[in-house]
Amino acid sequence: MALHQESNAVDSQGPIIRSITSGDISVTRVCSDRYDLKAAPATPCAEAFSVIVQLRDFEAHRLWKAGKLVYEGGHSRASLAITDLRDRWQCHHLSPFDNIRFQIPFARMSAFAKQAGRNEYLGLASVQGRIDPVMYGLAQALLPSLESPETASSLFLEQINLAVLAHLSQTYGGLHFPIGKKGTLAPWQERLATEFLANHFNKPFSLGELARLCELSRSYFNKAFKESFGRTPSRWLSEYRTGRVKELLLQDVPIAEAAIACGFADQSHLTRVFNGLTGETPARYRRKNRCARPAMEQLSG
């Protein structure tokens, strides 16, 4: 596990910043006792999630997304904020604050899910100000490493990262790990089932065929799959297809073509499923998530 130590930034006119990177996850502590800080620069474009944990009560700030004010107020100690860094975010801190910031690449979240035997398309819900004692505890555990990066244990940081990924993926990403094993699929059946579904997401197949591969009856397979993944095979497949559509919507692929490419009957079928799962149409998702990218890329270039 590669461990990268970043220099601390101490500026009398700005916040104190201490960072450390373990693998592809960066962790940064940012704090200030000032009330008169200038607005921070817009966050650079990244194919990653930002997860911010407040270490103390934070009275006031303003938050912009793609130039639009989306939040004004404070956050309590132990509260959490999750943002998608493909969007252009900018914050103005209006009171003293102290927080820990995790930057987690999409690819790392996906790799974690696959290593855990979950091939779902994994994305984190957008959250602002939700109290999360687990993430607060994990953030506090990192404070000694951030204070003395030269003595930080790479093994310890790796284990903290795994705990962070497990908690976030279950609590905000919908990844399901059953507590009890009664009535669930065996590990080999879980891997076979999700690999089969992921490989056939845009091809015709029957669930009976998949059940036979798992050496189960169709009815028992459906029940065991739901116990293992917290959703039916059909729901799992719809969520996975929708995730793949999201990737295409951020490119120049027409919506009708994206629908066919991802296993939907046509554009209207995609729209019904997409809206049911996300609460918005594919066209609106594309506009919302692509409009910020040129400005973000200009900022990060």
Summarised one tens digit per residue, pLDDT across range 196-228 is 999 999 988 999 999 999 999 999 999 999 999
Q: Are residues 161 and 193 both part of a single domain?
A: no
Distance CA 175, CA 185 (A): 16
Q: Are residues 196 and 66 both part of a single domain?
A: no
Please list the residues that pair with 17 across neighbouring strands. 9, 30
- Supply the pLDDT for residue 9: 52
90-135: pLDDT as tens digits: 999 999 999 999 999 999 988 888 887 777 777 888 888 999 999 9
Distance CA 296, CA 301 (A): 8
Distance CA 289, CA 301 (A): 19
- Residue 204's Cβ-count burial label (10 Å; 0-12, 13-18, 19+) is exposed
Distance CA 184, CA 162 (A): 24
234-279: pLDDT as tens digits: 999 999 999 899 889 988 799 999 999 999 999 999 999 999 998 8
> In this structure, what CATH number is given to the domain that contains residue 47?
2.60.120.10
Q: Report the share of the chain in percent with pLDDT over 70.
A: 91
- Last residue of some domain: 118, 142, 171? 171
Q: Are residues 30 and 131 both part of a single domain?
A: yes
Q: Are residues 115 and 245 both part of a single domain?
A: no
Instruction: For residue 73, give its domain range.
Output: 3-171
Q: Are residues 60 and 194 both part of a single domain?
A: no
- Supply the pLDDT for residue 293: 46
